[in-house]
């Protein structure tokens, strides 16, 4: 099982695992949103929020148990969070039907809905580290040299950034 190798620190296995489960999570999110008559445009928010939770809560998976129900439970939980947020938004712009319909017709967008805002909510150091490592695909060493930081500091900053991204989703609940 990939997740088992991944928790043992195998980077490639972990990437493969996350990429393998993402389409299933996305399918589930779209179906759930559609069931409540909501725009599929928000599915990617649920997907990203779910991936963050899978990552930050990976210690709660019991390796003796099947991983499917664990992932579905997390995805369901995150979908419910999203519903609560949508509840607020729908009240705010109940007349913007055209906008919602337009969003539905968009092709399978891979961007989270509130992405610009999400990266803005990281501090500058976190944003630079995330951009270099994740978006530009630089190695930890290259990033460390470019930002004039130690490799250890890069790793700490990245971990804080991941936690901050997850917190942003949670905070917009309120």
User: What x-and-dash track marks residues 45-74 binding other proteins by CB under 8 A?
Assistant: --xx--xxx-xxxxxxxx--x---xx-xxx
42 binds other proteins (CB under 8 A): no
> CB 95 → other proteins: shortest distance, Å?
30
User: What x-and-dash track marks residues 11-40 binding other proteins by CB under 8 A?
Assistant: x--xx--xx--x------------------
115 binds other proteins (CB under 8 A): yes
Phi/psi-derived region of residue 137, left when phi > 0, alpha when psi is between -120 and 50, beta in every other case:
left
Taking the least distance from each CB to other proteins, the nearer of 41 and 112 is 112
Q: Quick one: which of 31, 88, 93, 170 contacts other proteins (CB under 8 A)?
A: 170
Q: Is 2 helix (H, G, I), strand (E, B) or coil?
A: helix
7 binds other proteins (CB under 8 A): yes
* Cα distance between the two ends of the chain: 37
| All residues at 6 or more sequence positions from 142 whose CB lies less than 8 Å from its CB, including other chains | 132
- For 14, other C-beta atoms within 10 Å of its C-beta total 18
């Amino acid at each position: 099982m990939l997740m088992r190798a991944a928790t043992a620190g195998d980077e490639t296995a972990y990437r493969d695992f996350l990429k393998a489960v993402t389409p299933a999570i996305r399918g589930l999110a779209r179906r759930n949103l559609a069931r409540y008559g909501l725009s599929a445009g928000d599915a990617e928010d649920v997907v990203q929020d779910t991936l963050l939770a899978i990552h930050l809560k990976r210690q709660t998976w019991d390796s003796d148990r099947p991983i499917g129900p664990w992932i579905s439970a997390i995805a369901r939980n995150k979908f419910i969070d999203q519903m609560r947020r949508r509840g607020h938004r729908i009240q705010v712009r109940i007349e913007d039907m055209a906008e919602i319909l337009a969003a539905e017709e968009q092709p399978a967008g891979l961007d989270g809905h509130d992405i610009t805002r999400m990266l803005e909510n990281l501090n500058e150091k976190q944003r630079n580290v995330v951009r270099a490592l994740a978006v530009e695909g630089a190695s930890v060493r290259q990033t460390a040299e470019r930002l004039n930081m130690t490799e250890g500091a890069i790793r700490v900053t990245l971990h804080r950034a991941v936690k901050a991204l997850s917190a942003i989703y949670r905070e917009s609940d309120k």
